Structure formats: C-alpha cells, structure tokens
Structure 1
Amino acid sequence: MEYILQILPSLLSGARMTLSIFFWTLLGALPLGLIVGLGLTSRFRPFKAVLRLYVWLMRGTPLLLQLIFVFYGLPMIGFTLERYPAALFAFILNYTAYFAEIFRGGLQSIDPGQYESAKVLRLTYWQTIRKIVTPQVVKIVLPSIGNEVINLVKDSSLVYVIGLGDLLRAGNVATSRDVTLVPLVLVGIIYLLMTAVLTFVLRKCEQHYSYWK
C-alpha cells in the first residue's frame, strides 16, 4: 500500500493527460463528424468525393501512423506543432472520419418523406436538420458513438509515441524503474474506472432518447 501511494500521484497526473486528450478530441470530432457526415450525403459530387477520400485515408491507416506523420512528418513541409497540439490534431482528424461515417449512416436512415414534410411546413434546410433530423439521428447513432467514445479512452495511450506523459507511459516508467507489475495493474484499474463511468453516462443518454421508441 505504501508503494501504491508513492506512485499514485504520477499515475493520476498521466490520467489527467489521458482525460484531456479524450475531452478535447470528443469536443472537436463530434461536431466536425456531423458536418462531414452531412457533406457525405450532399448531391455536390466533387465535394462528396473529397470527403470520401479523407474518410478513406483516416479510416484506412492506423492512428499511430497518423500521430507519427503529424508530429514528425509535417515539420518537413514547414508545419510544426508541439507535442500536445499535434496529438489533438491527429486524434480529431481520425475520429472525425469515424464519427462522419456513423452520422452518414444515421442521416441516410431518415425517411425522405420527412424532408418533404418539412418543405411543406416551409422550414429551411438548416431548420429541418436541427429540429427534425438531428434528434432522430442522435438516437439512431448513439450506440455506435458510444463504442467509439470507449475506444477513444484506450486509443489515447498511443500519444506515448510522441513523448506525451499519459497514463500508460507513467505506468511503464514506474514498471521499468521498480521492476514490478503493480503500476500496470493500477493503470488497468484506472482505465476500467474511466470506461465504467463513460458506460454509465452513455446508458443514461440512451435511456433519455428511448421515449422515441
């Protein structure tokens, strides 16, 4: 117990970095994903083709490779980012693509008749999206979004590759220094606690939207 109390501050410091990456990625990727998802359903083919290429690149290459490219590759063309902004940039780009595909599927599941009804009611396109389509899409995509949110917590451990001190890196440092697996066990417990809280929140959100059944 004495050893656990000794290493716990460094682990909690790493957990703060993990939660920071998680929070800002979610804050940036969710609205961008909805916008890109709307773009993927547009009738303007050149724009749609560009977005499809972006989604294909982001989903078809590992997030770890994207992190390395953003931090180590972009400076070669004169675009340099510090470690933390580089990690956020890569994570937001990656998760925007995943969320966009989820939202695209949700948008395409809406009955076209609802758009026609909105026109009869003289609603603008954006009023239709905001007041009629989006509430239904949120309910449809919530389980899939929840899976990606849980994955984001675990994927945040990849930031070690560019030298950020996240939770897993803090555990690895303590394990290498003290030659014991106790820090990694604590890391696993902290990850489980974070995912448990998120799972609870997501279930509450699903229950909130269940009145549309």
Structure 2
Amino acid sequence: MSSAGDEAADGWQPSERARARTAFRRAQRRRALLVAGVATALVVAAVGYVVVTAPGWERAREAFFSPERAWEVLPQVAEGLWLNLRVWAVASGVGLVVGMLIAVVRTSRLPVLFPLRLLSVAYVDVFRGVPLLLVLLLVGFGLPALRLTWLPVSAAFLGGLAIVLTYTAFLAELFRAGIESVHPSQVAAARSLGLTRGQTVRRVVLPQAVRNVAAPVASMLVSLQKDSGLISILGAVDAIRAAQIATTGDYNFTPYVVAGLLFLVISIPLTRVVDAWSARQGWRGQLRGVAGAGVVR
C-alpha cells in the first residue's frame, strides 16, 4: 500500500507548514540546478570562444582533431590500450595480495618476524620516496644489465614490475592503516573466545581493515590504471607508444588525443563508480560499525 494510502487510512495529513517547507526545498533544488546549468553553459561558451578565436585554431584543429586521422589510427591505439589493461589487471592483483602481506608483517608483533618487518619498512620507505618514472628507468635498464637468464626482459614485463613495486608500497601503507584502525578490544574479544593469533587476524582484523580502507584502495587502483601508460618509456607498444609511432612522419598529433580519450573512457566510469560506492559505504559503514561494536564474528 502506498504512503498516500496509509496517510488517508490513518487520517493524517501534513500541516501547512510542512507542505510549505517541502515546496520551498523543491524550489531551492530547481533554482540550484538552473543556476548550475547556466553557469556551466557560460563557462563552456567562454572557453570555446577563446579557443575558436585563437589565431592558431585552424592549424591546431588540423594537427590535433582530425576525424579522418583519428579513425585511421584507432585500431592500433586500441590494441595498445589492451596491453595497458592487462598490465593494470596483473599489477592490481599482485599489488593487493603482496601489499596485504606486507601490512600484516609490519603490524605483527611476533619476534621471529622482526627481520621481515625491517625489510618491509625499508621497502615501503624506498618505493614510496622514489618517483615512479625513476623506478621504471632503473628497473627497465638495470635488470637487463644483470643478464639473468630466468628473468623476462620484455618492456611490458619490466614496466609492469616497476609499477607493481611502487604501487604495492602504497597499498601496503593503506592496508596497514586499516589494520591499525581496528580497535584492540576486537582482538582481545577474539582471543578470549579461544581464537588463535592467526585466526584473529584472518577472521576479525583483516575483514574490518579491508572494509575501512576499501574506498582509498579503489581510488589507488584507478590511479594505477592511468599510470600503466608509463610503460611506454621502456618501448612497450601500449596506447601511448602506438600513438607516438603513428605521429612519426606527418607530425599530426591526433593519435595522442585518441589515446587520451580511450584512457578517459576507462578511467571516468571507474572513478564515478568508486565515488558512488564510497559515498554509500561512508554512512552505511558507520552504521554497521556502530551496530556491531564489540561483536566478534
């Protein structure tokens, strides 16, 4: 039964003040939408006017926004983007697993893990402090110089390895923050129920830690998707490298625009999904945390 039917059955009707308040709020929303739409249209029109009336607009349009050239290079750039997506998928999976393990080691208090804790601290400090571009150059040119027969030396592998090394350090710090955000009473309650240290970490600490940092981890993975294009500096034929090859000879930079648009087609929906999911988790997660405080599952 509808709410209107319920109101009629109960004999309840909103007061004049309540109806006026609802109408006022609706009018405010409509006014805000109208103002936002007009402001956006004015900004877009102003930017468009500045660009179109620029002295070099005709030449820039031919060099950067050629529809014929864009359609011609689209298959090659799209094939390169497939390499970016594969690097992103592998690096995300490896980074999540290894980052979680490093976070568990860093937060462990077992004396036997002390050497691993030192190594994990050094690893995180180094790869969080060195720029990703420099890591790519050192890994891409340093590892092949060792002439290790068992190590693949393809540009895609070495570039993906450099991205994994850098992003795993950041993911490890996020997971460590999530683990440390779990209240010690949760651990004490789990141990009092007879759970071992390992069972407490696996069944009590990690689920709550992952939930607490799920939103920033998702945002980090979106950034990883964009940075996967940096493997092109090692010679891997990804979307950016394919666009660079296509510009050789005619100096038409439309392939770069095509590569950028393809990255946006992937990153913008991912960003919007992460934002929407984070907004939902924000208040729902708090409600679950309040309702489940002191409860060990």
TM-score of the aligned structures, taking structure 2 as reference length: 0.66
Stretch deviating more after TM superposition (189-198 or 70-79): 70-79
Is residue 187 of structure 1 aligned with residue 253 of structure 2? no
Residues 125/211 of structure 1: CA separation in 2 closer, same or farther (3 Å cut):
farther
Q: Structure 1 pair 181/76, CA: closer, same or farther in 2 (3 Å)?
A: closer
Alpha-carbon spacing, 1:209–1:31, altered in 2? closer, same or farther (3 Å):
farther
CA contact (8 A) 1:40 1:48 kept: yes
Are the aligned partners of 1:70 and 1:86 in contact in 2 as well (CA < 8 Å)?
yes
After TM superposition, give the deviation of residue 89 of structure 1 in Å: 2.0
Within the alignment, does 1:92 sit opposite 2:164 as a pair? yes
Question: Which residue is 1:8 aligned to?
Answer: 74
Q: 1:39 aligns with which of 99, 105, 128?
A: 105
Cα separation, 1, equivalents of 2:81 and 2:197: 42
1:108 is aligned with what amino acid?
A: E
Give, in whole Å, the separation in 2 of the partners of 1:27 and 1:210. 28
2:189 equivalent among 114, 117, 127: 117
Q: How many angstroms does 1:131 deviate by?
A: 2.3
Shift of the alpha carbon at 1:102? 0.7
* Distance change in 2, residues 1:210/1:26 (3 Å): farther
Percent of aligned positions that are identical: 32
Report what 1:170 is aligned to: 242
Distance 2:69 2:137 in 1: 35
Paired residues of 1:139 and 1:209 also in contact (CA < 8 A): no
Unaligned runs of 5+ in 2: 1-66, 287-297
Contact preservation (8 Å) 1:7, 1:183: yes
Question: Please, which moves more after superposition, 183-192 or 168-177?
Answer: 168-177
Task: Tell me how far 1:127 sits from its aligned partner.
Answer: 2.5
Q: Could you tell me whether the CA contact under 8 Å between 2:99 and 2:175 is conserved in 1?
A: yes
> Is 2:100 the counterpart of 1:28?
no
Cα distance between partner residues in 1 of 2:250 and 2:226: 24
Instruction: Please say if residues 71 and 81 of structure 1, whose CA atoms lie closer than 8 Å, have aligned partners that are also in contact.
Output: no
Q: Cα RMSD over matched residues? A: 2.0
Aligned partners of 1:36, 1:107: CA distance in 2, in Å? 12
Could you tell me how far 1:31 is from its partner in structure 2?
A: 0.9
Larger mean Cα displacement after TM superposition, 100-109 or 68-77: 68-77
1:75 matched residue in structure 2 = 144
- Deviating runs (4+, > 4 A) in structure 1? none
Change (3 A) 1:134 1:209: farther
Deviates more, 1:75-84 or 1:189-198: 75-84
Secondary structure of residue in 1 paired with 2:257? helix
Tell me if structure 1 keeps the 8 A contact 2:69–2:255: no
TM-score, scaled to structure 1: 0.90
SS of 1:178's equivalent in the other structure is coil
Check if 1:211 corresponds to 2:284: yes
- Are residues 1:56 and 2:112 paired? no
In the alignment of these two chains, the number of paired residues is 213
Structure 1 spans left out of the alignment, 5+ residues: none
Residue 148 of structure 1 pairs with residue 216 of structure 2: no
Deviates further, 150-159 or 119-128 = 119-128
